[in-house]
Amino acid sequence: MNSEAVSALIAKMPILKAAKAKLEAMEPGSYVVHRSWGFGQIKSYDEGTHRLMIDFKGKKSHAMDPAFCITTMDVLPAKHLLVRKETEPKKIADLVAENPAQLVVEALEAYPNNAATAIELEITLAQVIGEEKFKKWWAVGKKAVAKDPRVSVPEKKTECYILRETPVSAEDEILEQFNGTRSARRRIALAEELMDATGKKDVKADLSVVLKGVVDAVQTSNQLDAAERLYGAVVRDDLAKAVAAENNFEPTQAALVANPRDLPAIAEKIPVHFQSRFLELIQETHPIEARDILFNLLKTSQGKFTTEVINFLVEHDHSDELAATLKRWQTEQNLRAPVLLWIVKNRHSKKFAKLLNDLITPRLLSAIFFAIDYEALQASSARRIPLGDILSEDTDLISDLLSTADPETARDLANTLMLNQGFEELTKKSLLARFIKIFPKIQSLVAADAESKEEQLLVSRGSFDRKREEYETIVSKKIPENSKAIASAREHGDLKENSEYKMAKQDQQVLMAQKTNLERELGRARVTDFADASRDQVSAGTVVAVRNVATGAATTYTILGVWDGDPDNHVISYKTALGVALLGKRPGDTVKVKTGASDEEYTIVSIFRYADKVRT
């Protein structure tokens, strides 16, 4: 729009006088960004209709009222990256590919005061680079920008990237940030960054200032948890060594790991790159108890820490004890998912072959299924289960674990798979196909599963009412209370550092999983008084007297519904291993039942109906 056109428009609408400069900037050829239509270019101005003709991507020659555009559209300066992408495509493409820090510098030059919030800058860069490629590009580019002395990098997305008038070194910038923050956690992180940035440079005076700040943070801050305080002590001691200062600080690293009960919580949160030093510290502080402490830590370990603990034990000549411990945990069903994951990933490793040889058995597969099922019940359905993923992705794993299995064991494991809540149906079928390839007779399970998908569960009235009451308590009391807890915790501030909020969200996941599971079970339940139980053979609703073939001991079991288990009074569900083995049998028949690691054999002495016992 030329000055005459702008003057004519203002004469018609005096309210536009304050926007005269912006209207004059709306010249043909100028590039713009509209709130709704995005990036475009003004092509012309029609004085007859008082309309701008703008080419937007996907909408050419779009007519727009300049008065409306004042509040919804920005005219971009010639230096703006989006404009230069059109006018200097090769140069911008070269900067994107080869020099992300320079690209950001030139982007900031186009903003008023050479500053833009992280959000603004990232939106522009994403448009220049492309939404699909931006995330990966920015992960690398952001590191280059952080090292560039010309750019001040913000801590938060709502703060600004600033192009400095005078470049400063990375060390000076970190020191500036260190002096500008009161957060003990942030000071420790910046101190570590400063040591990395300075390397072998002679900046002992600056590091001495930082050392005092870290010493105070470790000693007096109430912001730090046990893991953060320990890591702060490590950074403090490394700083003291770098500046050749006398190290007599309190608390010492040894004091912070003196209580073995504190170590599992510390191990969960320590940085990955500190894990090996953490284990060395335990060894130095607890020379006699170290082995037992490390085994306790391994039992509850997660992620890379599992690997670190195992490597540490092996390197310190504890391989035999480790093999025996893992075997014992397997027998006791105490192998947790992270350790199981490590075992299956390293089963072919030459380094650990002797250690793992006796563990690669069908029993390990049973432990894997249990761990996957347990994790599925504890978490939301959308959460990935790494142990389940590797079972699907490693096509040799099932065949390796079933290499010593007999057909009956394989069938039991296949049945366990079909009942597992940690797999989608398609995944179950894929895994079952691997069973069938080794044991073709398991194919019959597929047909049986299809028939029993909606199998009803026989339950007593009392157990149904108890299960229904449990469901009502979760829906009407626990979930609403949890929702209030989440809302209350949210008000406490920063969710990333809000432990109350995290715990409440974890409780929410557990409660929703329990609710879904109870709904599924209650929907399949059929209440019965067991009056239709058979008098001739064992069924749900039968009282069975059996004798142990090996010991001669006699026991009477009452077989009732799926939720009626009472082991102390010898009441068992018809779905238990013993209940399934007894179903359909008659007096005089003998059955075998696997109990733990051994097989028990029982002879049925007599049977009668539970309903008849109740009546008498």
- Is residue 247 included in any domain, yes or no? no
> What value does the mean pLDDT take over residues 511-535?
83
**What pLDDT is attached to residue 381?**
46
**pLDDT attached to residue 597:** 62
What is the domain-level CATH number for residue 57? Answer: 2.30.30
Within 13 Å and on the Cβ side, how many CA atoms surround 32?
Answer: 31
Quick one: 443 and 494 in the same domain?
A: no
Q: Looking at residue 521, which CATH number applies to its domain?
A: 1.10.287.180
The residue out of 452, 484, 501 marking a domain boundary is 452
For residue 182, is it within any domain? no
Domain check: are 374 and 438 in the same one?
A: yes
Q: Over range 284-299, report the average pLDDT.
A: 95
Q: Is the pLDDT of residue 490 over 90?
A: no
Domain boundary at 75, 95, 113, which?
75
| CA–CA gap between residue 349 and residue 507 (Å, rounded) | 39
d(CA 228, CA 195): 18
Which residue has 């209940």 as its token pair?
579
Which residue among 48, 75, 102 closes a domain?
75
Residue 610 belongs to a domain: yes
Question: How does residue 338 score in pLDDT terms, banded at 50, 70 and 90?
Answer: very high
pTM over 0.75: no
pLDDT in tens, 207-222: 788 899 999 999 999 9
Residue 446 pLDDT class (50, 70, 90 cuts): low
Looking at residue 230, its pLDDT comes to 96
Domain hosting 596: range is 542-615
Give pLDDT, residue 204.
45
Residue 203: predicted pLDDT: 47
Extract the runs of DSSP E, i.e. beta strands, from 143-287.
151-152, 160-163
Query: Is 351 inside any structural domain?
Result: no
Are residues 402 and 478 located together in one domain of the fold?
no
Asked if pLDDT for residue 173 goes beyond 80, the answer is no
Q: How is 23-72 classified by DSSP, letter by letter?
A: HHH--TT-EEEETTTEEEEEEEEETTTTEEEEEETTEEEEEE-HHHHHHH
In-domain check, residue 402: yes
Averaged pLDDT of the chain: 86
Which CA distances in Å does 6 have to 25, 34, 54?
10, 20, 17
- Does residue 125 share a domain with residue 60? no
Residue 125: pLDDT band (50, 70, 90) is: very high
Residue 125 in any domain: the answer is yes
- Ramachandran region of residue 220, left (φ > 0), alpha (ψ -120 to 50) or beta? alpha
Determine the pLDDT at residue 505. 75
Q: What pLDDT is recorded for position 498?
A: 57
Q: How many domains does the chain have?
A: 5
In a domain, 157, yes or no: yes
Residue 583 lies in a domain: yes
pLDDT for residue 264 is more than 90: yes
